[in-house]
Amino acid sequence: MGKNNCLVIPARLDSTRLKNKLLIKINNKYLIEYTIYNALRSKKINKVFLVSPNDKIFKKIRDYKKIFLVKSNGKYSSASSRISSVIGQLNYKYIFVLFGDEPLIKPNIIDQFAKKVFKDKNSYIWNATSKFKNKQDIKNQSNVKCYLDRFSNIKELSRSLKNVNDKYIKKSIGLFCFKSKILKRIKKLGLKNNNESIEQQSILNLGFQIKSVGIENDIPSVNTKHDLERIKKLV
């Protein structure tokens, strides 16, 4: 079940809020190295790719022999667009995506997510989500909020907040999955940016449905210097 899969780590250096964050060193390792290490240790993922337009990233991680490097065009601003541009090189039924700035998504979390994806025979796109720890985290503009319906479908994503007490609010995690035929359709249609530059919202705007897959852990990603200091204590 689900053996025909790969995981792709999209990586680029033109982040705006924290410059070149993937190559920031944390305890003598680049941030991107933690993400790669976790992906390679997953028991459910068959092959790991890193897709990037930046040769500088490839040079820094060339010692990782088990990861496959794919050069993408620098014009793509979203992970989905970057991956769909090289879809011809990814001949797999399930394509998992793990953002490069998610060093705390451990192998067991990837496996937990993948197991739930493989069991779901009715969906085509899945996004890992978690509960917020407190109202302060909900209000944090760095955290992307998912608004779900009662069937766990994601209806909208936003960094802004509508109602802090909404029981259907979840936190979007930088781990999701596509069936490859959907990525090919996304490539054909083309993603258009939205006001908050949230690519899952751009996918919803094309008319696709995204299923929320709940995971137990609340996982901080790295978007700001404050996030970075928090991550240093956790890796």
Give the closest residue to 186 by CA, choosing from 90, 85, 114. 85
96 phi, psi to nearest 5 deg: -85, 150
Of 105-109, 213-217, 222-226, which range is least confident?
A: 222-226
Q: Is the pLDDT higher at 82 or at 83? A: 83
Q: At 96, is the pLDDT very low, low, confident or very high (cuts 50, 70, 90)?
A: very high
| pLDDT for residue 164 | 63
Q: Model confidence over 155-196: pLDDT tens digits?
A: 999 988 777 667 789 999 999 999 988 988 888 888 777 777
Q: Across residues 10-19, what is the average pLDDT?
A: 76
Q: At 213, is the pLDDT very low, low, confident or very high (cuts 50, 70, 90)?
A: very high
Q: Is the pLDDT higher at 167 or at 204? A: 204
Q: Model confidence over 124-165: pLDDT tens digits?
A: 999 999 988 888 888 888 889 999 999 999 999 998 877 766
Q: Is the pLDDT higher at 124 or at 11? A: 124
Tokens at 213, concatenated: 């897959």
List strand residue ranges (DSSP E) for 91-219, in order.
94-98, 125-130, 145-148, 153-158, 169-179, 210-214
Report the chain's mean pLDDT, rounded to a whole number.
86
| pLDDT for residue 172 | 93
Tell me if 109 sits within 8 A of 175, measured CB to CB: yes
CB-based contacts of 195, cutoff 8 Å, min separation 6: none
> Do the strands 48-52 and 5-10 form a parallel or antiparallel pair, or are they unpaired?
parallel
| pLDDT for residue 1 | 53
Set out the domains of the chain in order of their start, with CATH numbers.
5-232 (3.90.550.10)
| pLDDT for residue 43 | 96
Q: Is the pLDDT higher at 137 or at 47? A: 47
> Coil, strand or helix: which one is 186?
helix
The answer to whether residue 3 scores a pLDDT higher than 80 is: no
Of 5-14, 15-24, 74-83, which range is least confident?
A: 74-83
